Amino acid sequence: MTRTFDIAVIGATGSVGEALVQLLEEREFPVANLHVIASGESAGSSVPYKGKNLRVKDLETFDFSSVRLAFFAAGSKVTQKYALQAGAAGCAVIDLASGLPVAQAPRVVPEANAQVLAAVASPYVLTSPSAPAVALATVLAALPEQIKIRRLTVTACLAVSSRGREGIAELARQTAELLNGRSLEPRLFDRQMAFNVLAQVEQTDSEGHSRLERQIAAEIQELLVIPTVHVSVTCIQVPVFFGDSLSVSLQAESSIDIKQVYAALDSATAVELVELDDYPTVVGDAVGQDVVYVGRVRAGLDDPAELNLWIASDNVRKGAALNAVQLAELLIKHYL
């Protein structure tokens, strides 16, 4: 008989939390009791799971000693406030909001650095990195070993769902207002998001980088275990509901064999390679999928040691919920 586990999903009413609950069902995760948890205002609503409607419980009064593993998908402040309490109660934690210090909660993408799991110890606290980093690490880890990356330049075009349900509602509302000739009133975003591209996602610091740009650079260095690689990241917000698109240019130490790159990406399980006469996009390809799409694979125009790629990935599913569930699967297999 398969062992089963009592599980909690914190932030179960958000878009990532909802995808997480759905993936636990789809992947037949060995759940005994599933507790769907949210902060005060959402408590009392319900979340569908295996044909039932699970009542959402209030985070404030939840007893973490009643579960073996908790997913934290409710923002970094919630993780910071409750994850230690969960760990002290003997509950393993997977944080999707990067709320914990890296030394306490290593970042893991199974396709890139699953070896890190060999060194984790009780209470088993892991971080599922940001969605762009999950997509990028999945593809870069699938490249031929011969490619030694020296520098990575990434422009990440983020969907409005990176801002949760509010981002989705805001783009829909703004678009309808503009098409109906009504005047536009931005609320969540600081200006018009419909039919526009915003040059940054949230605030930047005194040096001009956003928190997410710094985070993605650090995540990639940790996930690929090459702390010396130069990473340049620009995160922009595009008028797309779901799915992140990444324009990637990398410089390697020596000439790259493009045929070898094709063969390696083609054989990677978590990657779907789209060949040259076609290209992947988020709508129609990546959204709703468990794999990361990669296309426009090409050398530099004038530099054979340069490799250019286009990556399309479902930010909510593959970039967040699925990666977290995969981490949980590895934890229960080896430790719990």
Using CB under 8 A as the criterion, which residues of the chain lie in contact with a second copy when the complex forms?
153, 155, 157, 171-172, 175-176, 179, 191-192, 195-200, 204, 206-209, 213-214, 217, 230-234, 236, 238-241, 245, 247, 249, 276-277, 279-284, 295-303, 306, 308, 310, 312
When the beta carbons of 81 and 296 are compared against a second copy, the nearer one is: 296
Q: Give the shortest CB-44-to-a second copy separation in angstroms.
A: 31
* Distance in Å, CB of 81 to a second copy, minimum: 29
Q: Which is nearer to a second copy, 132 or 295 (CB)?
A: 295
Ramachandran category for residue 247: left, alpha or beta (phi over 0 → left; psi -120 to 50 → alpha) = beta
SS3 240: coil
- For the chain, list the strands marked E by DSSP: 5-10, 31-38, 46-49, 52-55, 57-58, 69-72, 92-95, 125-127, 149-158, 230-237, 244-252, 271-273, 292-299, 306-313
Distances (CA, A) of 292 to 22, 118, 145: 19, 25, 19
Compare residues 46 and 175 and give the one whose CB is closer to a second copy.
175
**Residue whose CB is less far from a second copy, 63 or 205:** 205
CB of 139 to a second copy, least distance (A): 14
Task: Provide the minimum distance between the beta carbon of 279 and a second copy in the complex, in angstroms, as a whole number.
Answer: 4
The residues, any chain, with a CB within 8 Å of residue 21's CB and separated by 6 or more, are 9, 12, 34, 36, 47, 48, 49, 54
Please answer whether residues 99 and 125 qualify as being in contact, where contact means their C-beta atoms are separated by less than 8 angstroms.
no
Q: How far is the CB of 205 from a second copy (least distance, A)?
A: 9
Nearer to a second copy, 118 or 301 (CB): 301
Q: Which residues contact 161 (CB under 8 A, 6 or more apart)?
A: 15, 167, 168, 241, 242, 315, 316
State the minimum distance, in angstroms, from the CB of residue 194 to a second copy: 9
Nearer to a second copy, 124 or 310 (CB): 310
